[in-house]
Amino acid sequence: MCITLSLSSKPCIGVCNGSLQSPKSMVTTARTEVITAPKRPNTFPGLTKQGISDIDLRVQEVVRRQSWTNSLVGEVNCRKPRFEPMFIDDAYDKCRNICAEYAKTFYLGTLLMTKERQKAIWAIYVWCRRTDELVDGLNAEYMSPAVLERWEERLQDIFEGRPYDMLDAALSDTVCNFPLDTKPFRDMIEGMRMDTRKSRYESFQELYLYCYYVAGTVGLMSVPVMGIAPESSASAYTIYNAALYLGIGNQLTNILRDVGEDALRGRVYLPQDELAQFGLTDKDVFSRKVWSSLMLYRKILDAIEDNDYDNLTKRAYVGRTKKLLTLPLAYTRALSKPSLYLR
């Protein structure tokens, strides 16, 4: 599953009033998380006995740790190795080039940031990409639990100032310049473990937790770099929650976009119980009998773009005529030979 990083063109985050509601349906959530204003959720997957969700606990822990680290002015978090200035500049340049090559739109957004934020985001992007490629890259066939264990050990080395290579060095330098905690990075590795252990998700709750691991964590990584506006009336917890749900919303959108590509890898991320609710099975996904749903929801995302991403005052929707005109094309696609990408 491809991981997508998202960012705002503004250098600080501090405009969100709450966290997004966790709805029952995956398809509804993909739309809700990019259309509606944030609302405080009543329930989450994985509730503890105290009624606090696993995801909420992760956010609280990260906020607490990163605030604690920041208050100590880097004394605990930073064991900064002594890099030659030319070496570390080259390391960041390599990260920049990778970002520019593989995430062109994302890279353009980083150009609006300050120089120090740019470098940090490039370093984080490259680490996330390398982590994802362990499972989905060219050498994925050699993947084993031991590989991820070693990668996690290597992450600890990065945070303790012992980088393995130049790209690791960029992240080592970044964690000394910004109050980043290891937990979101470790949780992303756990998401990769999920990809190696399972290729189906029985319910939206299971899928939601997976989306937290592989994408919500990116939001938690990004807040310390993007910063919180001093004048913001929102709490740090609220802002971290908003960043987390943005990542989850992006991942749900990717899942809708990549159903065909994931099916070719033998993976079905669409919740099994929701497929069954509509009389569908994995076989229907592999034979591409869900084209109409995929194409219509993609048009909703197009409508959001047409609205200049104004989710607060405009509602993105697909009109009845457009829906009807889409059906013949969806039917034609369903009859055609398999293709790796939705077009």
pLDDT, tens only, 103-125? 988 899 999 999 999 999 999 99
pLDDT, tens only, 224-250? 999 988 898 998 888 998 999 899 988
Task: Tell me the helices (H) and strands (E) count for the chain, helix number first.
Answer: 16, 0
Q: For residue 10, what pLDDT is reported?
A: 38
> CA–CA separation, 9 vs 50, rounded Å?
38
Q: For residue 62, what pLDDT is reported?
A: 85
> CA–CA separation, 168 vs 157, rounded Å?
9
Closest to 111 measured CA to CA, from 126, 99, 102:
99
Is 222 in a helix, a strand, or coil?
Answer: helix
| Integer-rounded Cα radius of gyration of the chain | 20
Q: For residue 265, what pLDDT is reported?
A: 85
Superfamily of domain 54-68+81-241 in CATH is: Farnesyl Diphosphate Synthase (1.10.600.10)
What is the greatest pairwise CA distance in the chain? 63
Write the DSSP symbol of residue 140: G
Closest to 336 measured CA to CA, from 299, 274, 287:
287
> CA–CA separation, 1 vs 183, rounded Å?
21
Checking if the pLDDT of 341 tops 60, the result is no
Q: Is the pTM of this model over 0.75?
A: no
Sequence spans of domains, the chain: 54-68+81-241
Q: How far is CA 150 from CA 137, 191, 221, in A?
A: 17, 15, 21
Per-residue pLDDT band at 286 (split at 50, 70, 90)? confident
Checking if the pLDDT of 285 tops 60, the result is yes
Which one is predicted more confidently, 239 or 308?
A: 239
Contact by Cβ (8 Å): 127, 189: no
pLDDT, tens only, 312-329? 576 766 676 766 665 566
Is 47 in a helix, a strand, or coil?
Answer: strand
pLDDT, tens only, 155-198? 999 999 999 999 999 999 999 999 999 999 999 999 999 999 99
Burial profile 180-218: b = 16 or more Cβ within 10 angstroms, e = fewer: bbbbbbebbbbbbebbeeeeebeebbbbbbbbbbbbbbb
- Residue % of the chain over a pLDDT of 70: 66
> CA–CA separation, 151 vs 213, rounded Å?
16
Per-residue pLDDT band at 42 (split at 50, 70, 90)? very low
| Bridge partners for 13 per DSSP | 228
Q: How many CA atoms lie within 13 A of 213 on its CB side?
A: 19
54-71 and 183-197 helices, crossing angle to 10°? 150
Q: For residue 75, what pLDDT is reported?
A: 45
